[in-house]
Amino acid sequence: MPGKSLGALSLGMTSQQVEEILGSKPVATRAHVIGASVLIWFHHKEGESEDTTLVAFINDKAIYLEAISPAFTAPGRLSTSTDLASLVAKNNNHKLRAYEVRYPWGGGLDSYVYDDVTAGISYIIWADGHFNHQRRIDAIAVHRPGLAAISPLYSKEVTPILNKPEPPLQIPTGKNSPNSINGLPLTEIVSPDGIRGYTTKPVVLPNGVGILAIGFNSFQGKKMPPYIVLYVTSFSKAPRWVGINNVTFSFSGRKVLMYGQKSTNQMNSGIFNERIDVKMPLKYFLSMAKSNSLYVTVAGSSFTFKESNLIGLRTLAKKLS
């Protein structure tokens, strides 16, 4: 409910009350520039997408609730399945703010916040350097009515740029590719905060369709529920996945339809790079990695990844299982 609650969580709750409702302690705590303490929870249930809850407290009273989960539906049936164009069409009273986020350990992204200040609800879209009306809502947040939503961590406010193109995707190749570790097609990812994971070496078929997987499995030396993101990419002279944001994965006699975040950019060479980022539940990923072949279907066309193409996925599966 705008200005009051998000699911079972309500503004004004103490950190202990939030812990009791979520059933666990937060995995991370951050200090916000406004003087708030920001607590972060990761959630995962077998066969479901990975969710994140972020709560900001001042004097141990919740002033801001943010959730990355398809389970929450805001007024107008808005959810993390809603694209920006639909959000704008249904809401005329939202103020758009943009933030440049730069993490202390390197890297960052752009965050666009559509905020109904009066009602106390906002919608967040992480742009990863590009932004257009095909982007889907990444998170929903509830905050104190009449006060703007708090800014993202490690950010500064910037001027919003709509239809900002994505920078060209660079795929390393060759024996000295950084996408290999100890002879295996993986790169280890470790942040100073202690979040650890791996990314596979990109596999691109002769027809220009490729796949890459990223998985995380520990935080500060302790195991955390693994979560996986698959990048399904297309390199072609003209866009072939226009308006498409879903992928069907066929393996071991099973078909799994999943929706993801779609982006398109034209590289300096003139080639179009389209990418659909899909979060995949662990049980599906483990089953897929064990299969002898994988069929990826996008926009009615199927692409076959043979057993030799799946070495990286199998290696990552072993790391995460």
**Residue 183 in this model has a pLDDT that exceeds 50:** no
In a domain, 256, yes or no: yes
- Listing DSSP states for 149-191 in one string gives PPPPTTEEEE---TTBPPPPPP---STT-SS-BTTBSEEEEE-
CA distance 102 to 99: 10
Domain assignment of residue 245, given as a range: 186-320
**Residue 173 in this model has a pLDDT that exceeds 50:** no
- Listing DSSP states for 36-50 in one string gives -EEEEEEE--TTS--
Q: CB of 94 within 8 A of CB of 78?
A: no
Angle between helices 282-290 and 311-320 (to 10 degrees): 140
* Predicted confidence band of residue 10 (pLDDT cuts 50, 70, 90): very high
**Residue 19 in this model has a pLDDT that exceeds 90:** yes
**Residue 180 in this model has a pLDDT that exceeds 80:** no
**Dihedral angle sign, alpha carbons of residues 69, 74, 79, 83:** negative
Same structural domain, 154 and 190: no
Among 124, 122, 119, smallest CA distance to 99 is for 124
In a domain, 110, yes or no: yes
Question: CB-hemisphere CA count at 13 Å for 138?
Answer: 18
**In 201-245, at which residue ranges do the beta strands (DSSP E only) sit?**
203-204, 209-219, 222-236
SS3 289: helix
**Residue 45 in this model has a pLDDT that exceeds 50:** no
**Residue 238 in this model has a pLDDT that exceeds 80:** yes
Same structural domain, 138 and 51: yes
Q: Give residue-wise pLDDT tens across range 87-110.
A: 777 766 788 898 888 767 555 667
Same structural domain, 11 and 149: yes
CA distance 166 to 132: 10
CA distance 46 to 24: 17
Domain limit, last residue, from 117, 138, 158: 158
What is the widest separation between alpha-carbon atoms in the chain? 58
**Residue 171 in this model has a pLDDT that exceeds 50:** no
* Predicted confidence band of residue 178 (pLDDT cuts 50, 70, 90): very low
Phi, psi (deg, nearest 5) at residue 316: -65, -40
Q: Which residues of 9-39 are buried (b: 16+ CB within 10 A; e: fewer)?
A: bbbebebeebbeebeeebbeeeebeeebbbb
Instruction: Please list the residues that pair with 65 across neighbouring strands.
Output: 55, 142
In a domain, 164, yes or no: no
* Tally of domains within the chain: 2
In a domain, 79, yes or no: yes
CA distance 126 to 138: 7
Same structural domain, 14 and 106: yes
Other CB atoms within a 10 A radius of the CB of residue 8 amount to 9
- The whole-number pLDDT of residue 176 equals 34
Token digits for 193?
């905060």
* Predicted confidence band of residue 269 (pLDDT cuts 50, 70, 90): confident
- The whole-number pLDDT of residue 130 equals 54
Same structural domain, 146 and 13: yes
Domain limit, last residue, from 141, 158, 175: 158
